[in-house]
Structure 1
Amino acid sequence: MNQRVDYVFKVVLIGDSAVGKSQLLARFARNEFSLDSKATIGVEFQTRTLTIDQKTIKAQIWDTAGQERYRAVTSAYYRGAVGAMVVYDITKPQTFEHTVRWIEELREHADKNIAVILVGNKSDLVTQRAVSIEEAKEFAESEGLFYIETSALESTNVENAFLTVLKEIYKTHCKKALAGREDELEGTNLLAGTNIDISSGQDHTGTPSKSNCCSF
């Protein structure tokens, strides 16, 4: 209960209704799957704490209804999100086609540096596949997105999908933090000048050392 948390990352799940967003969340957060799952009404979220590069990360995953009548709710919940999973059903091509709209909405409301992954769910229904892996990969590449196929039912790649997003968020955070420290040190040096201790032979120019916080 008193576990120290280094970072809290908000990730949003978006996509059409019935593509399996809630099942993906249940599988990741609680390792559960229910065949009787009901459609999400409004917005709900689950959390899970995990470790990345020896840092304790609390993932706060938000799930939203895909129905049009709840779009007014979903448009507000992008605020503060640093990651997103755009989910479609590999057996329903229209849900794949609609990812274009979801990505546009995401880019309109979310931070420009948000980490995004395209998720083709229900990979267990291989005999009913209507969207090819090649087509989805090509689209993801054209949009600059990560891509993965999952099965919430069989728990295939669910962990990998969430970890891909969370690791990318963490890497981006580290880069921003390092850039901020470099800017701060550069500003300090411009004001204070540079001191060199020639007696010890060491350079004290204030040049920051490279951070390894983003290595995986």
Structure 2
Amino acid sequence: MNQEMNGVEAEKFQEKIDYVFKVVVIGDSAVGKTQILSRFTKNEFCFDSKSTIGVEFQTKTVTINGKLIKAQIWDTAGQERYRAVTSAYYRGALGAMLVYDITKRQTFDHVARWVEELRSHADGSIVIMLIGNKGDLVDQRVVQTEDAVEFAEDQGLFFSETSAFSGENVNSAFLKLLQEINKVVSKKSLECSNGIKGNGNLDGAALKGEKIDIISGSDLEISEMKKLPSCSC
């Protein structure tokens, strides 16, 4: 009886999800993409990290402006030999976290190329957040904040500096990205309801959270792990 009731409660909770947003985390290898994702979804940092192979994803459910949103966050490998594989995963992404390492100038120099690749494969309305990671390594900084801010403003990106190690600004950066995606989705849903065609291919009805994994418990901030046998960066 209890199991049946728990199943009913979980199903009711599941039905409350308003949107499922796909987000990709991109950038050069070893900039801390998986560590940022792990910090956001599980509040964990793995010291024994390994490079991501292929593509993996995790999810987290949050409340934004009264809407229950499930973020499906894809972690892509930064190595050149895997980029041809991961490019297919840009399809359907509503947001992107573009990460560089503030202690490695080369990773920032490659950001423009990542933006170009992202815009070549993703929807034109995709929301992009530029992230300068490893902010805790102040003494090793080689990329100045001003340079990143200037680039972000020029490209129309949102920007934040984070530390996956300490957790500084990680949650706020992801939540800001999801908030901006929600604005885009809400605007396009309104346009559709008014019979106005938007510039992208976004269908508000298609984003409704249907047939997703059952979520149990009363806490709205729930994270899940998919295809992650070991911690990686």
Short-chain TM bin? 0.7 to 0.9
> Does 1:39 pair with 2:51?
yes
Q: Which runs of 4+ in 1 moved over 3 A?
A: none
Q: Which residue of structure 2 lines up, in the alignment, with residue 190 of structure 1? A: none
TM-score (norm 1): 0.84
Equivalent positions of 1:58-137 (< 5 A) are 58-137=70-149
The CA deviation string for residues 62-91 of structure 1, in whole angstroms up to 9 with x for no partner, is 001100110111111101100001000000
Q: CA deviation at 1:155?
A: 0.2
Q: Give structure 1 stretches of 5+ with no counterpart.
A: 185-216
Q: Pick from 187, 194, 199: which aligns with 1:175?
A: 187
**Which structure carries more relative contact order (alpha carbon 8 Å, separation 6+)?**
2
Secondary structure at 1:183's aligned position in 2?
coil
- Number of matched residues? 184
Aligned counterparts of 2:57 and 2:78: Cα–Cα separation in 1: 15
Q: CA RMSD in A?
A: 0.9
Question: What is the rounded CA distance, in whole Å, between the counterparts of 1:181 and 1:23 in structure 2?
Answer: 40
CA distance in 2, matches of 1:175, 1:71: 32
Partner AA of 1:68 in structure 2: E
Question: Which residue matches 2:169?
Answer: 157
Q: Which amino acid aligns with 1:99?
A: V
Supply the AA of the counterpart residue of 1:92: K
Identity of aligned residues (%): 65
Number of the residue aligned with 2:18 = 6
How do 1:16-31 residues align onto structure 2 when only pairs under 5 Å count? 16-31=28-43
2:155 paired residue number:
143
| Residues 166-210 of structure 1, C-alpha deviations (whole Å, 9 max, x = no match) | 0000000111111122227xxxxxxxxxxxxxxxxxxxxxxxxxx
Deviation per CA, 1:135-177: give whole Å up to 9, x if none: 1100100000000000000000000110111000000011111
TM-score by length of 2: 0.78
Structure 2 unaligned segments of length 5 or more: list them: 1-9, 197-233
Residue 208 of structure 1: aligned partner:
none
- Which amino acid in the other structure matches residue 150 of structure 1? T
Give 1 or 2 for the bigger CA radius of gyration: 1
